[in-house]
Amino acid sequence: MSLPPYQESWKGSIGTLTLGTERNGSHTVTIGGHTTLPFLGFEGETRPPVIALEVWDQAPADWSGPLAEAWRDVSADAVAWAKRGVDELGVDMICLRLVSASPDLADSSPAKCSEVAEAVADAVGVPLFIWGCGDNAKDNEVLAAVSRALRGRNFLFGMAEEDNYKTLAVSCLADNHAIVALSPLDINIQKQVNILITDMGLPIERIVAYPTTGGLGYGLEYAYSIMERSRLAALGGDKMMSTPIMAVVGAETWKAKESIADETVAPQWGALKERATLWEAMTAVTFVQAGVDILVMRHPEAIAAVQKTLGTLAG
């Protein structure tokens, strides 16, 4: 006689966050809402993760050959790039990286960045994750302006850090957006950043945690353990850990030597394109089993492979 599967009973849950609005042909994306561990549908409520395509507002100058080639004809046009991701790949979200705002690059103005963000948002009809250039001072100016320009669209903005969160938190609160809270692979800092943001008045239900991501062979195991621990803490009843989780997969995996070195440098590793896309796909599939809700990815073939796997895991 076969026995029914053992079922764990959890007293906590992961918050549900809906992004985007259903207006002018646009649609929403819902993440979180878990009452059990990933893909254990027999035990409770669970929802598969979504994929966000990373799109830059200027053509990347140093991407690995196979990645640059995949987007070469649209990489100078953020709108065309985003539309291809939605129309051809069926991604759920667009991660618009405003790299041109960097003082070390084009030093684009807040007004210019807002113009690009509005154009992408109007063109694709899916929720956006607006990510700055990584310079805190400039990001505070740019993200505040873009937040106002996209007021009421219910998008996701980041990154908020322990030492730089107030300006972005105020903008998201005023303009009805959600926020990404960045922490450096430290579960205590992850919780602290959430507390600091909620102290500003933004509800915990409007926060997505980004505990930093390590690629396959480059800290993946440690990142996985932090994500898993945060999931277990939330299911155990810790409200301040109950946020959905993001993993920035593409940016991490495509800087690994295995995604850069071609066959002339490392012939024993096999063809670069297949190796590099698998590096991204394997990293993504690993993290979804730790409880990730948003995968930020880059290569179309890696995205397609992960979409197929998610369909299998979700039954």
The mean pLDDT values, 10 residues at a time, for the chain of 315 residues are: 78 97 89 95 93 98 95 98 98 98 97 98 97 97 98 97 97 98 95 97 98 90 95 97 98 94 87 95 96 98 97 87
Q: What is the pLDDT of residue 263?
A: 84
Q: Are 223 and 291 in contact (CB under 8 A)?
A: no
Measure the CA–CA gap between 133 and 117, rounded to whole angstroms. Answer: 14
* Domains of the chain, first to last: 18-307 (3.20.20.20)
pLDDT confidence of residue 157? 98
Give residue 98's pLDDT: 98
pLDDT of residue 24: 73
Could you report how far apart the first and last alpha carbons of the chain are, in Å? 25
Q: What is the pLDDT of residue 265?
A: 84
- The reported pLDDT for the residue numbered 104 is 96
- For residue 52, count CB atoms less than 10 angstroms from its CB and return exposed for 0-12, middle for 13-18, buried for 19 or more: buried
Q: Quote the CA–CA distance of 209 and 106 in Å, as a whole number.
A: 29
SS3 content of the chain, % helix, strand, coil (to 5): 45, 15, 40
